[in-house]
Amino acid sequence: MSLRRVNPVRDRNEKPIAQALQQAGAIVWRLSAADLPDLLVGWQGRLILLEVKSAKGKLEPGQERFHATARALNLPCYVVRSVAEALECLGIGA
């Protein structure tokens, strides 16, 4: 089983979000496995999963299942659409 998508499609807002997180001092890993969130973020001793979506983007069924499992396990897993939302997940303002 491969953890890499053949041609992962990235939302246009992912790069500026990742850059803003890094500028804030976070470590950002881009994930490329089916149904997993787009970003794994290390911040102040915590790991946070972020799914980046466009303004009107919706979760795919597999992503919905992953998020439901993450919530059941109390894992921090969020959908973000902007730099401000991503920074808010870290508990800091834009």
| pLDDT of amino acid 7 | 52
Q: Which residues contact 45 (CB under 8 A, 6 or more apart)?
A: none
Query: For 60-73, what is each residue's pLDDT tens digit?
Result: 999 999 999 999 99
Name residue, tokens 């970003």. Answer: 39
The tens digit of pLDDT for each residue in 46-94 reads 999 999 999 999 999 999 999 999 999 999 999 999 999 999 999 987 5
Block residue for tokens 């870290």:
90
Considering the segment(s) 14-89 as one domain, its CATH architecture is 3-Layer(aba) Sandwich (3.40)
Tokens of 57: 């983007």
CB 51 within 8 A of CB 68: no
Domain assignments of the chain as residue spans, ordered by start? 14-89
